[in-house]
Structure 1
Amino acid sequence: MVNSNFDIDSIENADVYDSEGAKIGSVGQVYIDAQTQEPEFVTVNIGLFGSRETFIPFGATNFSPEGLRVPFSKAYIKDAPNIDVDGHLSAEEEQRLWDYYSSGHGTGRHGTEAGGPGVGTQTSDADNMVAHEERLKVDTEQREAGQVRLRKRVRTENQSIEVPVQREELVVEREQVDPNSAEARPGGAIDDANHEDEVVTLREERPVVEKETVATEKVNIGKRTVQETETVSGEVRKEQIDVEGDAEPGAKH
């Protein structure tokens, strides 16, 4: 373990090795307890080109000339709570770290109790500058996109239907009397008496039009969710640190 007389500046940028002896990154910052002023956590730069800093309990580390050794695997350290490295830990963030490392490895806590003022960053005397950049943070919100209303209206149109009908026609047939028939024998007298006319009635069919209402269509309406992708863009700013002066990095004076 690191003793209380240990010089924090001596581990700046030191290599960090996991429980299997593999290098996992380098020391980033040391966070001290606001009350005791004792080291509480140390951050390790891991990931591609040290793009991420992860917290490790300072009391669990062991310093040697080769670097800082920790009793955790790289995978376990990468799964630690994701907390912004902003120079200060809240009591809630601090408790999350202790809960994580205490649950699996029995790491004891030395220093600030839960609900205390938290821990801060211990800086060294070395000159440094931190570059920051802005990143787009996109979320979604629901809003009304439109309304649909069902309404019926009456439309009038002409409809033609062919209907078969029947009608009676008058048929008149005239025949010549056979001279050899009884009707052709002479001696018949002309009857001058009045006779009633024979009436023949003709009939015909005509279409009778009525209306009836029948169901022809049913419309169902509902909603469904469609997943799609939209591209958003915006301007972000990024700080870039330029080194100016006559001295070159690594030059001897």
Structure 2
Amino acid sequence: MTESTLESLIGAAAYDERGDKIGKVKQIYLDNHSGEPTWAAVSTGFFSHDSLVPLAGAEHLVDDDSIRLRVDKELVKSAPHHDGSRISAQAEQELFRHYHVDPRASGWNTEGSPRIRPGDDSPMTQGNRAFADQSDTVRYGDDSMVRSEEQLRVDTESEEVGTARLHKTVVNEEQTFTVPVTHEEVHIEREPIIDRTGRATISEEDREVVLHADQVHVEKETVPVERVRLAVDEVADEKTISETVRQERVEAEGVDDHRRQQP
């Protein structure tokens, strides 16, 4: 297991879990109870103040003087504002929730991570060095207990719920049209003969007349008439989610509350 000193972390370049640079380490905050490094103040350039990032699961790369944090750079940008030299208990709880850090495993001495030791002249308690600043958050005496509760984190994730497709079929449709046409018909016309001087004979005789009529011919032609596509619309909706959470309650025994309320 690689050993590093707190002094060696000050000024080290800080990178997120994807290798994107966040900034430089300016301060290290120690847990008041265990003395473990818990938070690092990093100068990011995003704001006028430094950003606090968790050291849980971090990796100190001594060769190139850098530290790899187990957080995403975007989370650092949106972290709660902190402009003081000390971290209050309420502020640290906000940071735990923001970074999704388990308060019970927030120190930087878990298995597989570098074990940090102080420098030769640097105690693991509050001193006159910037990296020895302490948090106000976890100083618990023997006469206190920690009350915990479960909190819901709700987010959304897009997943496949079905498919839509276009299917083209062929159907038969009866269409009726009225087409104007013409045809020839025969009728008899009679004209009296005025000049009867010519010679006439009685005989049988035939005459033919060719008749004409319009015939309707139908041809089919395939032509494109429209383009059909599937368009996906995103519709805003609401879903009500119910879940049961557990929380601890602290009750005191043998305490005279009436006596404590007296001036």
* TM-score normalised by structure 2 residue count: 0.48
Instruction: Report the structure number with the largest CA radius of gyration.
Output: 1
Q: Which has the higher contact order (CA 8 A, sep 6+)?
A: 2
* TM-score normalised by structure 1 residue count: 0.50
